[in-house]
Amino acid sequence: MARVRLGGMKLATWNVNSIRTRVDRVTAFLERSGVDVLAMQETKCRDEQFPRAPFEALGYEVAHHGHNQWNGVAIASRVGLDDVAAGFEGMPTWGDAAEARALGATVGRDVVDGGVRVWSLYVPNGREVSNPHYEYKLAWLAALRETAGGWVRAEPEARIALVGDWNIAPEDQDVWSMEFFAGATHVSLPERAAFAAFAEDGFTEVTRRFVPQQFTYWDYQQLRFPRNEGMRIDFVQASPALARAVTGAAIERNERKGKGPSDHVPVIVEIAE
């Protein structure tokens, strides 16, 4: 049976790097964390392959958007899951393909005022600055900003959360070595400007004021995690009404430890009623 926590809710985002591989870790995290809504990225499966049963056994509904073994986004909620939408208006395609990189749903109507419109986002990587995928990434971000800004202008009091793997390190402290990343994607000025531009439409990245400095991703190679050579690329951009309701945040670094972890860790925000 779903457990409703009156007075607010916990929302988390996590690039799980294959849900079929890590479903036991993900559901164990849900059991012990008190998270009500989990946005997932890089599920790496088709809709019919998503392992729904373990989530449903814990009282979570699941919406998933995935085409193949690449990309894939999902939202699991035990506080309602309504008005599900795959992709946002104006979202660019990669070649002729509409990739599974964005999934929206309204959650928590019974626990927070008006509910929260959550978008689970897996922003394109960009690969290299000289690669066409980099231009695709910038176009994707520009389209998201334009559409999300329209949502806020149309409904200023809407609680909207743009959450997920942004594949951008907005500040120098968000990578373990700026010298190592010189000339690379994730830290380029156009990417950082695209991330910062959401503020012009009223969005606020709400995790940093509670967790000023912490990484959310460590590559599997070259002992990056034991050396704490990571990146902070997973964020929560909140509309004005939602930002006012956020009362706390955490980065669950310990989820990078143990057997078979994702290379990312969950990022949690607490939302007041």
Do the domain assignments include residue 203?
yes
DSSP of 198-209, one letter per residue?
GGGGT-EE-STT
CATH value at residue 109: 3.60.10.10
Domain that holds residue 56: 8-272
pLDDT of residue 3: 38
The helix (run of H) or strand (run of E) holding residue 125 is none
Do the domain assignments include residue 84?
yes
Do the domain assignments include residue 48?
yes
pLDDT of residue 97: 85
* 143 within 8 A of 149, measured Cβ to Cβ: no
* Average pLDDT of every residue of the chain: 96
Q: Report residues of the chain scoring pLDDT below 50.
A: 1-6
pLDDT of residue 96: 87
pLDDT of residue 194: 98
Residue 31, CA distances (Å) to 21, 197, 253, 270 in order: 18, 36, 17, 16
Distance CA 161, CA 205 (A): 10
Query: Widest CA span of the chain, in angstroms?
Result: 51
Do the domain assignments include residue 17?
yes
Structural domain total, the chain: 1
Q: 40: which strand partners?
A: 14, 74
pLDDT of residue 7: 67
Do the domain assignments include residue 3?
no
Do the domain assignments include residue 1?
no
* 114 within 8 A of 158, measured Cβ to Cβ: yes
pLDDT of residue 273: 84
**What pTM did the predictor assign?**
0.96
Do the domain assignments include residue 41?
yes
Do the domain assignments include residue 144?
yes
